[in-house]
Structure formats: C-alpha cells, structure tokens
Amino acid sequence: MWLPWEYALIVAALLSVIGAVGRSRSTGWLRSAAPTMRESAIVFVLYAVWRLLGEVSVMGTGGARSRGRWIWDVERWLHLPSELTMQRWTLHATWLVRFANAYYIVAHVAPLGIFLVWLFYRHRDRYVAWRNLLGFSSLACLLIQLVPVAPPRLYPELGFIDTGARYGPRVYDSVGTNLAGQLAAMPSMHVAWAVLIGVATWRASRSRWRWIGPAHALLTVFAVTVTAYHWLADGIVAGAVLAIGALIGRRLGSLRPVVALRRGDAMVASTELVDR
C-alpha cells in the first residue's frame, strides 16, 4: 500500500518545520537532527511528485498500443535482444518467474530508501550530487511517461504473457484499473533508479559488499523484462536520461570554480586600482 501523495506532502511539511526549528537551536538533539529532517523532507517531496504524475497522462490512453508496437518494430529493426525470447526461457522455471514478479514489486522503492539512508550517513560528501541526479532523472522520466506507451504484457497476440496475472504476485488487478499508471512504461523508472543505485554504490564505496548495487541493477533489468512490464528500450532510454543528468551535473559543477575564479580576478583588479 503506497502512501498517497497528499500525505507525503504533509509529512514533508512537518519535517521541514522540525528541521527549521532545529537549525534555530544552538544545541540539542533537534539541532543535530536538522540535516536529516531537511533531506527527508526533500525525499518525501520527490516521492509525492512521483506518485502524483504517475496517476495522470496528458494524452489520455489513446495511441498507447500503437506506440508500444512501434517500439517493438524498432527493436526488431535494430536487432536488439527479444523480450519475448527472454520471457520464454524464464517460463521453463516457474520459481524464477515468481521471483521476477516479486522482485519487480518489492525491489523498487525500498532499495532506493535504503540506498539514500546509507549514502547520507556513510558518504555525506557525495550525497547531494546523487540526490540531485535522482531528482532530475525521476522528473525527466515522469515527464516522458506523460505520453502513454503500452508495455509488452498487453500484447498477447505477439506471444507475451502477463506473468504477474498468471503466476503471481500481481501488480494490477485488471487492465481497466489505474490504466494511466499501467501505460507509464517508457522510460522505466525501475531501471533508472536501480542503475543509479548500482553506479553510485560502486563509485562511493570501497567495501567488498559494493557489488550489491550493480547486482541489484542487473536483477531489476531482468525482472522488468521477463515479466513483460517493460520493453528493453524503456531501460535504454532510462539509462540515457541518467547519463544526460550526470553530464549536466558535471558541467554545472565545473562552472563553480570558473565563477569563483572570475570573482577572485575582479577582486584583485579592484584592489590594484585602489593601490594605484
């Protein structure tokens, strides 16, 4: 059961107030907890936006099937691996299908929360950069998802099976329930978040356990594909969004020393004028 976006905004507001009160104190536990309250408020706002935009579609539901079929045709033209072949291989092991269904459901938001807490407390110097990339990539994916695209599981004529409905656990009760959310398939938010966790964990940590992040990313790509909840192209586009966000973040970061240098040059020049 997901927390409604309205409640998430209320929680964010409360955390912001507590954080503001804590920052005004000179000592005490509220003062020390203020950074945590602030970052938690930001995360709840991001969650609220994700939940809100996930419930709407600016273009309704029309054309979703034609767009999904177009993606299938483009993938065949590019000779990408077939999602249908991958699913059929997996169907030989029922336990693996059920594992993929469960992983799709469970390993989406929970690992992201664990990752953010771990990064904040263990590698706080890198936290802001990765949090900003998370916010950018999530918003970009959500804006693209406003254009509905049908996932592979809605194409039984191509041979795809809705593994959640047949083997369980299932995500959606029926095609008519929350249809806009079911058609928010392009790009895959599952893949975007999982790849971010994988890359950030590998780069931030030197622990022998850092392989868990990349392993989670690979398992997520496997799960979203064999369950027919996403096209391979959905994950590719999600990865491209992350890469663009990282390049923008790096470019903005590289501008800071330049701005500081220019300000410093201006101060030196003004000092020389005064001396003269």
pLDDT for 174: 52
Q: Determine contact, residues 189/138, Cβ cutoff 8 Å.
A: yes
Angstrom distance (rounded) from CA 81 to CA 94: 22
In this structure, the answer to whether residues 2 and 90 fall within a common structural domain is no
Residues spanned by the domain of 125: 59-275
Q: Pick the most confident of 12-21, 113-122, 166-175.
A: 113-122
3-state secondary structure 182-194: HCECCCCHHHHHH
Tell me: the pLDDT tens digits for 188-206?
Answer: 999 999 999 999 999 999 9
In this structure, the answer to whether residues 27 and 111 fall within a common structural domain is no
Residue 156 parent element (H or E): none
In this structure, the answer to whether residues 217 and 200 fall within a common structural domain is yes
Angstrom distance (rounded) from CA 53 to CA 139: 9
Question: How many structural domains is the chain composed of?
Answer: 2
pTM for the model: 0.83
Distances (CA, A) of 258 to 82, 245, 246, 262, 263: 47, 21, 19, 6, 9
Tell me the pLDDT of the chain averaged across its residues.
84
pLDDT for 266: 47
